[in-house]
Structures are given as structure tokens and as C-alpha cells.
Amino acid sequence: MQFIRSNTFHWAAALAALFAAFVTILFGFIYFKIDDYLIARSDGMITTQVNFFAALPPDRRISALEDHLGQDSRGVQFAGIFDAKGNRLVGNVARLPDDLGAGAGVKSVRMARADDKEPDAPLVRAVARSLDHGHVLVIGRNVDETRELSRVVGGALALGLLPAFCFWLLAGAWLSVRAQRRVEEVNLRVQRIIAGDLRERLPHRNIDEPFSRLAAIVNGMLDELETTIHALAGVGNDIAHDLRTPLTRVRLTLERGRTNATSLEQFQEAADKAIAGIDQSLSIVTALLRLAEIENSRRSSAFGNVELGEMLREVCDMYEPIAEDKQIALSVGTSGTLHVRGDRDLLLEAVANLVDNAIKFTPRSGSVKLELSRGGGETILRVTDTGPGISDQEREAVLRRFYRSDKIRSTPGVGLGLNLVSAIVKLHGFRLIIHSGPGGRVEIVCPDEPAGGA
Amino acid sequence: MTKVLLIEDDDETAEEIAAELADRGFDVEWSSNGLDGLAKARDLRPDAMIVDRLLPGMDGLTVIESLRKDQVRTPVLVLSALGAVDDRVRGLRMGGDDYLTKPFAVVELIARIEALLRRPPETRETTLRVGQLELDLIERTAKRGERKIDLLPREFRLLEYMMRRSDQLLTRAMLLEEVWNYKFVPATNLVDVHMGRVRHKVDGPDDTPMIHNVRGAGFILRAVS
């Protein structure tokens, strides 16, 4: 009986009550209208009759009156002629009612029938008219018919309304039970999801109904969460894997050093190698923390005007010796001075990462170009190189943590560089576009009105 | 003896740092909370301070701010567990002189403390000299003894920084921050490449080397004795 407390049921019951009240008022209105109409009609009738009888010559009047009463099979007609003393001369009216003044209009009066034994005189619409010699003609019509009508109407109302009301209540109960069942079902599934079964989904039918739509929305959210959680789990595995490699090496180095080293120098050499391995592991952790830091950062307080051309030249200056060592031509091409709003240190870090990557993956005697251009309210920072570039299939993957292209597995690196660039670009509300190869081409598009950024 | 005040609430970290500083000949005073640390900083007048960012009692930055209000100019190295992007900026703005994010190598910490203690004086001199090495800041020229050294502007900047801090261990992170204004450590060991260029020019094939590589730590510029 829990449904009785449910909101749906309350609404259904309230609606049923409202409906019942409305129907009752409607029936009442119809009743009064019909009542009015019937009384007006009988008033018209008796007025015509009284005029007719009054106009007849006295000798024919009595027989006409008796004929009139004789034809009334339903016994609703009243008629009579009284003398000046109030004695009945003819007709079925027991006495002349005191409050029925001759010459007045049609009135409602209590009027007993001469042959009637019932103690209660019925309510009758009647009219009196004075005749010659002080005689009074009375014509009346019983309007109890209307009361009968009200009984019929009331009966019909009770007969129709009661089942309807019950039906409403039942429908309300059914709806609330159904809603409750669905809530129960959702609850059950959500409990399973909470318990860790991420593949569970809410039930939903392919119909345009609020509950189903809600379920579809929640399911969409769950899909997204599942993907993210799997991705995170994957990242966890990647981290573990990437950390295990240097740590295993450290362990081996230390073990070998401990067993084989015979001099202080050999011990120190082993220790140095171990420290280098630990530094590598630490750099992975540091890179991850830094990534998390940038991804979680929402601040723009440190944002200022950054002159990109100067920044590019600075990065170029920094990387020139390395490029030279690999005989790679590193160049900067800018037109005029271009400013963007941002955090100079972070943008420098992003560009340095792109250049670092470009130089790393470009073979000897190639070239790496840094360019700035304007177009459509956007400033575009482009890094192009003559390396293998990024294939179409790899474009998504390179933004994954720890992804390192198969082709360049041998190149050292943590594999978080592009993630970092992506996070920094996102923080600024800029866009990172990676074009497919051959030849690397990565762009940071900085709209004048950054969208979604901090 | 050089007195260093360490305000750090983690016992183990504090012990490690204190032991290392003591080994290097520092007189270390340790305080595990902000209020006590502030009191000690006022009473003991240390030569340098190492202050953790998050401390019980009083936040590390507040400690520094109070000291600076009292016109205490003691150099301060701020330590932080996680260098939130603008934490560093705030740390320095509040009066910290340098900033180090955990986890850090002890060598890095010592190098930075020594750098703080031996900050080069503001000189009006236009020529820097370390042994035979001479740097003319006006002419932007360098020579070792009689040999002229051709330096690119970036190489000049690096050598200038090293000469101002000769006989000090300069870590890669310090060089990146001070010479190139990099607030991060790039994937490629850029510093080594730049240093290699400068060293090649400063230390000729027949010269006694002046620029020394300290393994796993950084570089030192020393006059030939």
C-alpha cells in the first residue's frame, strides 16, 4: 500500500476529486436550467388555459372544465370554480388557497386535490381569475415533475460518477505503482553500478516519454564515464609499466654492483647509474603531476599579453645548438608583432615541447620551422618539420598519455609531451591541431576571443 | 658557522635535510611549525631559511610575509609538496627568494641554499674576472688570458651568470630558471648542449679546464689554481 503515499497517486486522487466536483456542478447547472424551462412552459400553458376558460360563456365553461380534467390522465392538472363564499362549484381543487389572489400572475402555492387523501398538499403553479357573480376560476399545474427530474439527474450522476471516481483512483494507483516499480528498478541497477558493475545501464524503451528520455541521458553519461574510467585505468597501467622499466634497471644495476664491485670507484659507478634510473622514474612522476596541475588549474590571473614572435625566437635560441648538432635548420618566420592573452611560462613550455618533439623526430639534415600567421580573427602558431609526421590513425593516439609511435619506440622520452601541450592549449581556450603527415605539422590556433578557456 | 633555520613539519624530510646540511658544515636549527619557526627566525637571526609551504600553526608564506614586514631580509628558500602553477609565483611574491618543488634532489637543495647565501653583490663593475677569464659587459667581449673568445649572445649570458657565481655548484634547473627563464625542465638536456658549446670555447684543447661537470648535479666554474 506504499503507493497511497506516492506523489503520483496523490495527484491522481486530487484530479479525480476535481473532476467529480466539476461534473456535479455541471449537472446542477443543467438541472436548474431545465427546471426554469419547465416552469416557464407550464406557466405559459396555464395562462393560456385560464384565458381560454374565462372567455367561454358560463354555461359551456363547466363542461369544458370537466372535459379538461377528464383528459388529464397523469393527474397533474388542477382546475376549479368557486363562488364568492369560497365554495367549490366544480373542479378537483379542494379549497381556494388563501394566498392565491385573483387577477395576479402565476404563483407557486400548496393546493390540495379534492379527492386526495394525502396529508401534504403538492406544490402547484396556479393562477386565479375573477368571473361574474364573484366566482373565481382557478387553473393549476403540478410541477412535481421537476423534482422527479432532479431525482433522475441525481441518480444518473451517482451511477456515472461513482464508477468514474473509482476508475480514476485505480488509474492513479496503477500509475504510481508503475512509477515506483521503475524507480525501484533504476535503484537496483544504480546500486549495481555503485558496486562496480560499470557495464550496467538503466532500462529504457524507445519511446518519447520523460522517464525513458531521462534514462537515455543517464545512460549516455554512464557511457562517457565508463570510457573515461577505462582510459584512466589504462593510464594507471601505462604509468606502472613505464615506471617498472627504469626501476627494474636500477635494481639490476644495484644488484650487480653489490655482487661484482670490488673498488670504491665501481661502487660509485653503480650508484650513479642507479641514481640516473631513479631520476628518470621521478621525471615521469613529475611530468604526470605537472600535467594534472595544469589540467586542474582554472586560473587566468597570471594571464598577460604575450608577444609570440619574441617567444618563438627565444625557444629557437634555446634549441639551436641541438638542431645544429643534428644538422637541422631551425628557423622562425613571423610577420609583425602578434600578441595573445595567456601565461607566458606555460605557452613557452608548450612551444618548447613542440619544438623538442619536432627536432627529436626529424632525421639529420632536415628542417624545423616555427611560423606565426593571422587569419579570421585568429593567431596561428605553426611548427612544421621534415620528419615522418603523424599518420591519420595516430592523430588521436598521440594525445593519449605515454603514447609513443611504434616507428620511434627507440627514441628516449617520457611520452607525455603532447599531453602537456594539449592541456596548456586547453587552459587558454586555444585549439591544438595536428595535421597528418608526411612531414610534421602542428598548429596552436589562438582565437582573439578564446572559447571555453579560463 | 653559517646558520640555517629549517621550518618543516615532516620529521623524516627534516632529518634528511638537516643531516645533509650538517655534513656540509652548516649549523642547522629545526622547527616543526610556523609559529615556533617565526619566533626562532626573530631570535636566532639565521643566515638563511628553508620554509615548507604548508605548516601547522602558521602557513609558510605567512611566516615569510611577517618576517619581511619586520624588515628581516634573510634569504628564504620555499619548499612545496606540489607546485601548483601559480604557487611558485605567490611564494616569490610573498618574499621568498627561491622555490623548490618536492620531490627534489638534496644536491639541488644544497646548491640553491649556497646560491642564496652567496648572492653576488650588486656591483657597478663592468668587467667580470675569474682567474684568467675576463668578461667585458659593455663591449660584450670575452677573453681567456690573451685569447679572445667569440661568444653568441646566449653563450655570453650563460658565461656571465656562471662567472658571477664562480666556485658554486649550479644545477641544471637553476641555470634553466636563471639564464633562460624556463620554469620547467625540458625533455632534452638542453643545458648540457649549451654548456658543451661554452666549455668548448672557454676551455681550449691546451687549457686547464675551468668549467667542471659535477656528475648528477650540475656545473661549477673555477679559476685555475
pLDDT at residue A412, as a whole number: 46
CB contact under 8 A, B85 and A319: no
Residue of chain B nearest A351, judged by CA positions: B186
Between A67 and B170, name the one with better pLDDT.
Answer: B170
Within an 8 Å CB–CB cutoff, is residue A325 touching chain B? yes
pLDDT at B85: 57
Q: What is the pLDDT of residues B183-217, one digit of tens each?
A: 777 777 889 999 999 999 999 888 889 999 987 78
Which of A284, A314, A322 would you mutate first to test chain B, the one with the most B CBs within 10 A? Answer: A322
Sign of CA dihedral B81, B83, B84, B88: positive
Q: Which among A285, A321, A356 is the nearest to B187, CB-wise?
A: A356
Give the Cα separation of A49 and A55 in Å (integer). Answer: 10
Is the predicted pLDDT of residue B1 greater than 90, yes or no?
A: no
SS (H, E, C) B190-214: HHHHHHHHHHHHHCCCCCCCCEEEE
- pLDDT at residue A68 is higher than 90: no
Contacts of B177 in chain A (CB under 8 A): none
- Which residues lie below 8 Å from residue A131, measured CB to CB, with a gap of 6+? A54, A58, A81, A137
Would the pLDDT of B29 be above 90? yes
Q: Which of A13-27, A161-175, A254-268 has the highest mean pLDDT?
A: A254-268
Nearest to A46 by CA among A134, A132, A108, A114: A108
Contact yes or no for B187 and A289 at CB 8 A: no
Q: Check: CB of residue A403 under 8 Å from CB of residue A340.
A: no
Confidence (pLDDT) at A453: 44
* β pairing state of A441-447 and B27-31: unpaired
pLDDT value of position B83: 58
B189 closest CA partner among A360, A311, A327: A360
Contacts with B215 from chain A: Cβ below 8 Å: 272
- Separation in Å, CA of A293 to nearest CA in chain B: 6
Inform me whether the pLDDT recorded for A413 exceeds 60. no
What is the ipTM, given to two decimal places? 0.82
Q: Are B25 and B51 in contact (CB under 8 A)?
A: no
φ/ψ of residue A128, rounded to 5: -120, 150
Q: Which amino acid is at B223?
A: A
The residue length of chain A stands at 454
Give dist(CA A213, CA A218) in Å, integer.
9
Q: Judge contact between B4 and B50, C-beta under 8 A.
A: yes
pLDDT at A140: 87
List the beta strands (DSSP E) in A38-174: 77-82, 88-91, 107-110, 123-130, 136-142
Cβ–Cβ of B215/A290 closer than 8 Å?
no
Per-residue pLDDT tens over the stretch B6-15: 999 889 889 9
d(CA B145, CA B134): 8
pLDDT at A204: 78
Residue A433 Ramachandran class (φ > 0 left, ψ -120 to 50 alpha, else beta): beta
Nearest to A297 among B85, B188, B216 (CB): B85
The closest of A39, A53, A46 to A136, measured between CA atoms, is A53
Cβ pair A317:B154 closer than 8 A: yes
Report the distance separating Cα A277 and Cα A279, nearest Å.
5
Residues paired with B99 in a beta bridge: B78
Contacts of B197 in chain A (CB under 8 A): 321
Check whether B225 has a pLDDT greater than 90: no
Task: Confirm if B100 and B77 have CB atoms less than 8 A apart.
Answer: yes
What pLDDT digit, counting tens, does each position of A366-377 carry?
Answer: 999 999 988 888
Amino acid in the structure at residue A9: F
Look at B129 and B185; give whichever has higher pLDDT: B129
Q: Cα(B148)–Cα(B146) distance, rounded to whole angstroms? A: 6
Residue B190 has its nearest CB partner, among A322, A360, A417, at A322
d(CA B52, CA B60): 6
In which band, very low, low, confident or very high, does the pLDDT at A67 lie, cut at 50, 70 and 90?
A: confident
Rounded Cα distance between A402 and A239, Å, is 8
Q: What is the pLDDT of residues B64-95, one digit of tens each?
A: 989 989 888 899 998 887 655 566 667 677 77
* Dist CA B214 CA B197 (whole Å): 17
Q: Is the pLDDT of residue A390 over 80?
A: no
3-state secondary structure of A437: coil
Separation between Cα atoms, residue A257 and residue A299, nearest integer Å: 48
Residue in chain B lying closest to A325 (CA): B193
Query: For A48, phi and psi rounded to 5 degrees?
Result: -60, -45
Q: Which residue has the higher pLDDT, A265 or A122?
A: A265
Q: CB-based contact (8 Å) between A321 and chain B?
A: yes
Residue A410 binned pLDDT confidence (cut-offs 50, 70, 90): very low
Euclidean distance between CA atoms A303 and A318, whole angstroms: 23
Q: How far apart (Å, rounded) are the C-alpha atoms in residues A284 and A49?
A: 115
Percentage of chain B modeled with pLDDT above 70: 95
The pTM of the whole model exceeds 0.80: no
pLDDT band at B60, cuts 50/70/90?
Answer: confident
Kindly state the percentage of chain A with pLDDT values over 70: 90
| Residue B128 bridge partners (DSSP) | B135
- How many angstroms separate the CA atoms of B16 and B105, rounded? 11
Transcribe A271-325 into DSSP letters.
Answer: HHHHHHHHHHHHHHHHHHHHHHHHHH----TT-EEEEHHHHHHHHHHHHHHHHHH
Chains A, B: CB pairs < 8 Å:
68
Q: For residue A299, list chain B residues with Cβ-Cβ distance below 8 A.
A: 85-86
In the block, cell 604548508 appears at: B54
